[in-house]
Structure 1
Amino acid sequence: MSYNTIEFEITQGVAVLTLNRPESLNSFNTEMHAEVRDVLKQVRKDEAVRCLLITGNGRGFCAGQDLSDRAVDPDAEVPNLGESIEKNYNPMIRAIASLEMPVICAVNGVAAGAGANIALACDIVLAAKTASFIQAFCKIGLIPDSGGTWTLPRAIGFPRAMALSLLGEKLSAEQAEQWGMIWKTYEPEALSDAALSMAKQLATQPTKGLALIKRALQSSANNSFDEQLDLERDLQTLAGRTDDYREGVSAFMTKRPPQFTGK
Structure 2
Amino acid sequence: MSLETEAPLLRELSDDGVLTLTLNRPRKLNAITATLAQDLWRALEHADADAAVKAVLLRGAGRAFCAGRDVSAAPTEAELEGVQRVAAAIVGCRKPVVAAVHGWVLGAGLEWMLDADIVIAARSARLKLPEASLGVFVTGGLVATLPAAAGLARAKALMLLGEEFSAEQALGWGLVWKLVDDDTLGTASRAIAQRLAALDADVAARYKRVLNQIGLASFEEALRRESAEQRALTQRTS
- TM-score between both structures, scaled by the size of structure 2: 0.84
Q: Relative CO higher for 1 or 2, CA cutoff 8 Å, sep ≥ 6?
A: 2
Q: 2:12 aligns with which of 3, 9, 12?
A: 9
Distance 1:188 1:121 in 2: 22
Equivalence for 1:145: 139
Deviation track 1:54-84 (CA, whole Å, cap 9, x = no partner) reads 00011111111135xxx75xxxxxx674563
Q: 1:33 aligns with which of 7, 23, 37?
A: 37
Deviation track 1:23-62 (CA, whole Å, cap 9, x = no partner) reads 1110111221222122112212210100000000111111
How do 1:135-174 and structure 2 match up within 5 A? 135-174=129-168
Gap regions ≥5 residues in structure 2: 218-238
Is the Cα–Cα contact under 8 Å of residues 129 and 188 in structure 1 kept in the other structure?
yes
Residue 205 (structure 1) aligned with residue 205 (structure 2): no
Q: 2:94 aligns with which of 82, 100, 123?
A: 100
What amino acid maps onto 1:46 in structure 2? D
Larger radius of gyration: 1
Q: 1:23 aligns with which of 13, 24, 27?
A: 27
Equivalence for 2:221: none
Between the aligned residues of both structures, percent identity stands at 35
Distance 2:151 2:93 in 1: 25
Q: Which moved more, 1:51-60 or 1:130-139?
A: 130-139
What amino acid maps onto 1:195 in structure 2? S
Distance 1:4 1:221 in 2: 35
TM-aligned CA deviation for residue 185 of structure 1: 0.5
Distance 1:141 1:41 in 2: 32
Residue 185 (structure 1) aligned with residue 179 (structure 2): yes
Equivalence for 1:84: 79
Distance 1:110 1:222, change over 3 A: closer
Residue 55 (structure 1) aligned with residue 59 (structure 2): yes
Distance 2:112 2:21 in 1: 13
Q: Which moved more, 1:211-220 or 1:155-164?
A: 211-220
- Secondary structure in 2 aligned to 1:62? coil
Deviation track 1:117-144 (CA, whole Å, cap 9, x = no partner) reads 1000000011001102211112311122
Residue 45 (structure 1) aligned with residue 49 (structure 2): yes
- The alignment's C-alpha RMSD in Å is 1.7
- Secondary structure in 2 aligned to 1:133? strand
Distance 2:28 2:70 in 1: 8
TM-aligned CA deviation for residue 95 of structure 1: 0.8
Q: What is the number of residues matched between the two proteins?
A: 213
TM-aligned CA deviation for residue 222 of structure 1: 6.7
Distance 1:80 1:65, change over 3 A: closer
Equivalence for 2:230: none
TM-aligned CA deviation for residue 217 of structure 1: 1.2
Gap regions ≥5 residues in structure 1: 73-78, 224-263
Deviation track 1:182-213 (CA, whole Å, cap 9, x = no partner) reads 10110000011011111112111112111111
Distance 1:222 1:10, change over 3 A: closer
Equivalence for 1:218: 212
Distance 1:15 1:80, change over 3 A: closer
